[in-house]
Amino acid sequence: MRLDPPLEANIDADLREIQVGDTVTFKDISTGLPSQWRWVFEGGSPGESVVHSPVIIYDTVGTYPVTLEVRRGDKVSSLTIPDFIKVGYRELVADFTTDTTTVKLGDPVQFTDLSSGLPESWKWEFAGANGTVVVSEEQHPELTFSKVGVYSAKLTVSHPGGTHTVTKEAYLTVLSANPPQADFTASHTGIPAGGSITFENKSTGEATGWRWTFDGGTPATSIEKNPTIRYNEPGRYPVVLEAYDEVSSSTETQQGYVLVVPENGLVAYYPMDGSGADAGPSAVHPSVIGQVAFESEGRIGGGAAAQFDGNSLLLVPDHPNFNFGTDDFTIACWLNTMSTDRMMVWAESGANGGRDNQTWLRLGDNAERQIRFCVEDGSGGTIQNSDHSVSDGQWHHVVCVREGKVSRVYVDGVLIKEGTAPAVKNVSNSQPFKIGAQEGSGGGTYSNYFNGMLDDFLVYGRALSEQEIHHLFELQ
């Protein structure tokens, strides 16, 4: 005879204490060989089951009973165990990300909460170095920032079981929609030693400050928008400008931008930067006869050069400092021409034709007389002729020196011609100094126009030494 075992419901589980969101695997351990099961899980999901070993998830904190009813044939047994499952809060770990960490002012930024532990509330705080604070209590906020800056981002997440905070320093960079772009010009880029230059800030964008660097200048740095800088020593110097806002900057560097020439004995200096104005101590400004352009690109740096069209000149009014008479003098300039025609680079006086009191430099008479430097008075002229051509479309430094009876011509720092007059010539009378042409007999008419570019035209009331001339050339 077979015994009919008694049916008695019983319950087991792999976990009794869990955190929100965890799962529990239940197991029927009833005796009596049940063949049917009906589970009830208060607080669980699903809330009921008819399988032998159901897997249930709990999403809400609390302590929950479990009920199991088992059957075999007409036998039924039921068991409810109160407080069988205890569900606690998960440990919070705040975290987040964003679709970008660099954004332009006014553009939206999407932040995404990645926190674990099933938080129930969120507090965002974005703090900029400029004092700006942006806050939100959304889980996944989309924010727009109204001020440029670098922002830290802090997220605090909470549930009734606790809070957790994460801070990411310098996390978000908000750029100006119109960022700074450094640029500058100057009142002029060539000066005698001891002179000053006013720099004009041409930066675009929304800069909040500027940092200048002036090698060779006094002061050597400045944070003014348009500083005035003094240069005491001859040389060629770079200028650097950095324009910046709270988060970005732009730097403009001009190598060799400033040319500072020796001031000892200087009569006139025509940098040809934007005009024919005299930057020297005499301030003898020429008139433009015809069309001379001052916007052509210079030899180096940011300066310009004068473009002569073969039918124009600069006319310097008669001035005591240009009346060299029997004194020593030096005239130096940079020139660039392709023309081989006869043309005057400069002329002092000379409106009365031959045997006038005059001095001049002329190019291109013929193959044997490519450079002619003349000193002349009523007794006749002494001319230094050279077959050294400078009409090759390149920049050349040409210097003429009269020292007593000796006259010399230098090209690119090298002496190419020297001669001695029988007597010291008186080379001036009460007539203007010409740059780019000679004056016709009787005055007021001009010929032998220069065709090409001239730059950094210097007049000294003394004879520069070979070393000084070479130094001028090396200044470029």
The reply to whether 141 and 110 lie within a common domain is yes
The reply to whether 422 and 286 lie within a common domain is yes
Q: Report pLDDT for 302.
A: 58
What CATH number is attached to the domain comprising 398? Answer: 2.60.120.200
Residues sharing a CB contact under 8 Å with residue 234, sequence separation 6 or more, in sequence order? 193, 260, 261, 262, 471, 475
The reply to whether 273 and 413 lie within a common domain is yes
Q: Report pLDDT for 2.
A: 60
Q: How far apart are CA 194 and CA 430, in angstroms?
A: 31
Beta bridge partners of 289: 313
The reply to whether 326 and 232 lie within a common domain is no
For residue 113, being part of any structural domain is answered with yes
The reply to whether 130 and 222 lie within a common domain is no
For residue 54, being part of any structural domain is answered with yes
The reply to whether 284 and 420 lie within a common domain is yes
Instruction: Give the SS3 label for residue 156.
Output: strand
Instruction: Give the SS3 label for residue 320.
Output: helix
Q: How far apart are CA 470 and CA 258, in angstroms?
A: 19
pTM: 0.75
Taking a C-beta distance cutoff of 8 angstroms, is the pair 231, 191 a contact? Answer: yes
For residue 4, being part of any structural domain is answered with no
| Closest of 144, 165, 445 to residue 290, by C-alpha | 445
The reply to whether 434 and 369 lie within a common domain is yes
Q: Report pLDDT for 129.
A: 83
For residue 6, being part of any structural domain is answered with no
- Using only C-alpha atoms, the chain has a radius of gyration, in whole angstroms, of 46
Q: How far apart are CA 228 and CA 238, in angstroms?
A: 15
What is the number of structural domains in the chain? 4
Q: Which helix (H) or strand (E) holds 472?
A: helix 466-475
The reply to whether 136 and 52 lie within a common domain is no
Residues sharing a CB contact under 8 Å with residue 366, sequence separation 6 or more, in sequence order? none
The reply to whether 192 and 274 lie within a common domain is no
For 394-423, how does the pLDDT look when each residue is reduced to its tens digit (9 = 90+)?
Answer: 999 999 999 999 999 999 999 999 999 999
For residue 215, being part of any structural domain is answered with yes
What CATH number is attached to the domain comprising 236? Answer: 2.60.40.10
For residue 76, being part of any structural domain is answered with yes
Q: Report pLDDT for 212.
A: 98
For 100-142, how does the pLDDT look when each residue is reduced to its tens digit (9 = 90+)?
Answer: 999 999 899 999 999 999 899 999 999 998 788 999 999 999 9
For residue 1, being part of any structural domain is answered with no
Q: Report pLDDT for 5.
A: 87
Beta strand pairing call for 217-218 and 108-113: unpaired
The reply to whether 336 and 443 lie within a common domain is yes
Q: How many residues does the chain have?
A: 476
Q: Which residue type occupies 84?
A: F
For residue 5, being part of any structural domain is answered with no
Q: Report pLDDT for 301.
A: 59
Per DSSP, the chain holds a count of helices (H) and strands (E) of 1, 43
Tell me which of 243, 261, 279 is where a domain ends.
Answer: 261
Q: What is the dihedral of CA 442, 445, 450, 455, to 10 degrees?
A: 90
The stretches in the chain having pLDDT less than 50 are 1
Q: What is the dihedral of CA 270, 276, 278, 283, to 10 degrees?
A: 160
Q: Report pLDDT for 427.
A: 97
Q: Report pLDDT for 131.
A: 84
The reply to whether 243 and 318 lie within a common domain is no
Q: Is the dihedral of CA 467, 472, 475, 476 positive or negative?
A: negative
Domain span holding position 235: 184-261
The reply to whether 255 and 270 lie within a common domain is no
Tell me which of 123, 156, 175 is where a domain ends.
Answer: 175
Tell me which of 22, 55, 88 is where a domain ends.
Answer: 88
